[in-house]
Amino acid sequence: MINAFLDSDVIISSLISILGASYQLINNKNINCFISNISYKELLLVVKRLNIDEKKLKAVVKEKLKIVKLSQNLKQIKLNYKNCVKDLNDAHIVAGAVESKVNFLITFNLKDFEINRIKEKYNIKIMSPGTFLQFLRSK
């Protein structure tokens, strides 16, 4: 079983379209998908803003995702992971991936992360959903 931490944009994409890589990834039985408690709060705000049915999100979270509760508060997370992101608001994504003990962080926002630093320091590879699915097919 492969473990992957999903950025919020991947979850939102899976809710919007059943045709994309995000939907395929979340519904792949060979992948354990993780989000953090902070990501979940963020997702609740985004679905409201985008007028997506909150029940749809809650069903996906309940049936398809594992939530890891981050042990640090947001201020500590930003301090500890500031060198891993270009936008401090994404520090909780790296913290979630690290605390989930995954080897993959899946996001559409590759430019927001210090990809090489995260790979070297935490052995976490960062990929887009489509690239990740291609990677899995090549194994």
* Residues 19-55 pLDDT 10s: 999 999 999 999 999 999 999 999 999 999 999 999 9
pLDDT for res 138: 87
CB 65 within 8 A of CB 96: no
Query: Does 80 score more than 90 pLDDT?
Result: yes
Note the pLDDT of residue 40: 96
Among the four given CATH numbers 3.40.50.1010, 3.30.1490.20, 1.10.10.10, 3.40.50.720, the one describing domain 2-138 = 3.40.50.1010
Task: Give the residue extent of every domain in the chain.
Answer: 2-138
Mean pLDDT of 77-84: 96
> ∠17-10-32 over CA atoms, to 5°?
105
81-138 pLDDT tens trace: 999 999 999 999 999 999 999 999 999 999 999 999 999 999 999 999 999 999 998 8
Residues of the chain with pLDDT > 70: what percent? 100
Task: Provide CB contacts within 8 A for 94, sequence distance 6+.
Answer: 81, 84, 85, 105, 113, 118, 122, 124
The predicted structure's pLDDT at residue 115: 96
Return the pLDDT at 139.
72
